[in-house]
Amino acid sequence: MMYPVLSDMNNWLDNDFDDMLNTSWMPRMNVTAPAINVKENDKAYEVELAAPGTTKDDFKVNVDKDGCLTIKMEHKDEKKDENKKEHYLRREFSYSNYEQALTLPDDVEKDKIEAKVDNGVLHITLPRTGKAEKETKKIEVA
């Protein structure tokens, strides 16, 4: 790691830490991913994705033939300023976009996957087939 040349050697430690913690040189992205929980029980896997302020229309959930579950979320806050006396000087929470892909286990019944949004949390239920497809198959080496 390269460090700038210091003019005052008496405070080299302070400057070194200031330089490492100072992120003003980095472009500000304001990117955060929603929190996600994945849990399982004997009957199903459950995915919960926290996205406050979203509705069911903000989500697209797909599963492909290879067993990849894709969650896409796009939320636009397009409220108009009704009060012409005020205007935003800075507005950072008007748009959010998120995409997550999860590889599903073999024992998920893809035709019975359900999704719903409740109080800004996306709940996806992935029913299990109950079949033990984790059996080891011995392969003879020739």
Q: Quick one: which H or E segment has residue 39?
A: strand 36-40
Task: Indicate if the pLDDT at residue 128 is higher than 50.
Answer: yes
Q: What is the pLDDT of residue 141?
A: 81
Give the list of residues 6+ apart from residue 70 with CB closer than 8 angstroms, or none.
Answer: 60, 61, 62, 63, 64, 99, 100, 101, 102
Q: Where are the domains of the chain?
A: 30-78+89-127
Beta partners for residue 60, in sequence order: 72
Cα distances from 102 to residues 27, 45, 86, 122, 128, in angstroms, run 29, 12, 44, 15, 16
Average pLDDT over residues 75-103: 74
pLDDT band at 123 (very low <50, low <70, confident <90, very high): very high
Q: What is the pLDDT of residue 97?
A: 84
Q: Which CATH number fits domain 30-78+89-127: 2.60.40.790, 3.40.640.10, 3.30.1540.20, 2.40.50.40?
A: 2.60.40.790
pLDDT in tens, 94-108: 677 889 999 998 899
Round the average pLDDT of the chain to a whole number and report it. Answer: 76
Among the listed ranges 82-86, 99-103, 123-127, which one has the minimum average pLDDT value? 82-86
Q: What is the pLDDT of residue 60?
A: 94
3-state helix, strand, coil in the chain (%, to 5): 15, 35, 50
pLDDT in tens, 14-46: 554 455 455 554 555 445 678 999 999 999 999
